[in-house]
Chains A and B, each alone.
Chain A
Amino acid sequence: MGLVIQRDKYPDRLFAPASRNDLLADGANPVFDKEMRSEIFSQGTLMLRVVIQVSMFLALPLMGILLYPWPELAPWYIAYVILFNMLVGPVFSAGSVTSERERETLDLLLTTTLSPGQILSAKLISGLRVSSVLTMFLLWPLLLAVVMVNTYWSNLLTVLAYVAIVGMACLTTATVALFCSVMFRKTSSSLMTTYLLIVVLFTAPLAVTYFAGTFFPDTLPRRW
């Protein structure tokens, strides 16, 4: 069982366009074109692929429990989706500039007339599309639950906010990974630093809240 992508058909060509066999149009961003048409599924390790497969499989029972019989537990499902993005998001962007350094092609890229904005936006969008599409696969059950469970009908604004929270998490993991990729020389250093920053940003506040709730319970309204 696996995902079949037909690169010449809509909507697959928006996500993974086929290799180019004609000339690039005038004024087009060559870095963006190259990144979008590069082989996306050869990226990442076997471990990453296992994480993706296991996460997708785990989403089935979690969705069944957290979204349908007890809709008030929906934030836990969103937390699961964010956790998935924390694991998967950095992988596709953390090597985007360091790989140029490792292949010794960055200096060549810098001698072109391309602006930094063109280079960075191409790198960011190409990494973001893979991580966000994989993450959005896990959000489809939420949209399905909105249609099927009437509790969500009176909480539509909250559901939209959940989508915004996940979308912002996707953008942040990709941006932090790209930033580390710009700052470091090796992909391994960039990836590990990205994970460290993301873990601190996303989970340190939870640790602080837990600490405050445990030792100063009167000062904290308990939500979960």
Chain B
Amino acid sequence: MTRAGFTSPFAAAFNLPIDPMMAKSNTAPPNWWFFGSYLLWYTALDGALLTTMAWLFNVRWRMER
């Protein structure tokens, strides 16, 4: 369930911690899969929204033809 958190940009940022490069640092490694999922999800969502809007303009509201 928590893996579905990739829709949150906050979670995406916190899954990419800055490593302070100190000897006693126990920073978790960056979770690049989470970041990739975030980018992929919103690319798909934004694309789907834009396609839907264009479709609505063409099919429902267009006055030509």
Contact = CB atoms under 8 A, between A and B. Distances in A.
Given A116-B54, A154-B19, A179-B49, A201 B7 contact: yes
A79 B13 contact: yes
Sorting the interface of chain A by its residue count into under 10, 10 to 19, 20 to 34 or 35 or more gives 35 or more
Nearest to B39: A168
B65 to A, nearest CB: 12
B21 A154 contact: yes
A217 to B, nearest CB: 12
Interface residues of B, number: 42
Interface stretch (A2-10, A57-65, A202-210): A202-210
A209 B4 CA distance: 9
Contacts, number: 130
B9 A158 contact: no
Nearest to B46: A175
A74 to B, nearest CB: 5
Interface in A166-224: 166, 168-169, 171-172, 175-176, 178-179, 182, 201-206, 208-209, 212, 219-221, 223-224
Contact of B50 (A120, A161, A166): A120
